[in-house]
Amino acid sequence: MVIPSINCPDLQCAQERIRISERFFPFGKGWVHLDVADGKFTFNKTWGEPEEWRRLQTRLNLEVHLMGEEPEHVIDRWLKVGAKRIVVHLETMNDEDFIVSLSREYGASAMLAISPETPVEALRLYFGKFSEFQILAVQPGLPGQSFLPISLDKIHFLREFLPNATIEVDGGVNLETGARCLNSGANILVSASYIFGSENPAQAYNTLSALEQQ
C-alpha cells in the first residue's frame, strides 16, 4: 500500500493536497497520512488542527503521524474527528496502554514509530502491545529529506521477528528506495515529496503503487 503524505504549513496547503489525493482513489477508499509536527520534537511545525480537519470533509481514511511531545494529550482530538490510525513515537510516548486502548475504543489502530537514531531493538518491549510499526527513514518533521539506508536493516529486523506485523516506512520514499523497502519486508510506503513534488502527482502515485506488483 502507498499512502500520500500531507506535510503542510497551513490549512490551504493541506486542503489542496487532500483534493489531489482524492483523485488517486476513484471509489473514495484510500488513505492519507497527515504529519503533525509540534516544533519541539521536530525542527519545524506543521499544520495540524483536528477541528479544522473535519471541515475538509474527505472520505479518505486518515492516518495521523503525531511527531510531538506528549501525544497522549492530543490523541483523543484526532480520534473524535475520525482518524483510523494514530502513529506515535517511542521517543515521546509515555503511556502505551492508554494510546492502544483509546484507539481501539474508537475503532482505530495504533502504530508505533521510531526515529533514525533509535535502535530498532528498542521496539522489542512493545511487540506484545503493537502489531503496526513505522520506520521513520528521515529526521522527524521536514519534508524532502534523503532516505537513510540504515532503515532497511530495521525493516529486516522487524519482519524476521514479526512475520505478520504491518511495517510502514515514511521519509525519502521514491521508486528506488520504495522498491528496496518492499523487498526488505515493508507493507506500507508513505510518500510526500515524490508524489506532490511531481508535475503529475497521480502518475507518480500510480507508478509508486505499481512497485507492489513487481
Domain boundaries, the chain: 2-213
- pTM exceeds cut of 0.85: yes
Give me the residues of the chain with pLDDT under 50, please: none
Q: What are phi and psi of 130, to 5 degrees?
A: -120, 145
Assign 46 to helix, strand or coil.
Answer: coil
Q: Which of 35, 95, 97, 153 is catalytic?
A: 35
Q: Which of 10, 76, 153, 170 is catalytic?
A: 170
Residues 6+ positions from 82 with CB-CB distance below 8 Å: 54, 62
Distances (CA, A) of 72 to 81, 116, 177: 16, 22, 32
pLDDT of 88 reads: 98
pLDDT of 144 reads: 80
The answer to whether residue 35 is catalytic is yes
pLDDT of 26 reads: 78
d(CA 174, CA 199): 15
pLDDT of 43 reads: 87
pLDDT of 153 reads: 98
pLDDT of 209 reads: 96
**Regarding the domain delimited by 2-213, which CATH topology (the fold level of the hierarchy) does it fall under?**
TIM Barrel (3.20.20)
The answer to whether residue 170 is catalytic is yes
In residues, how long is the chain?
214
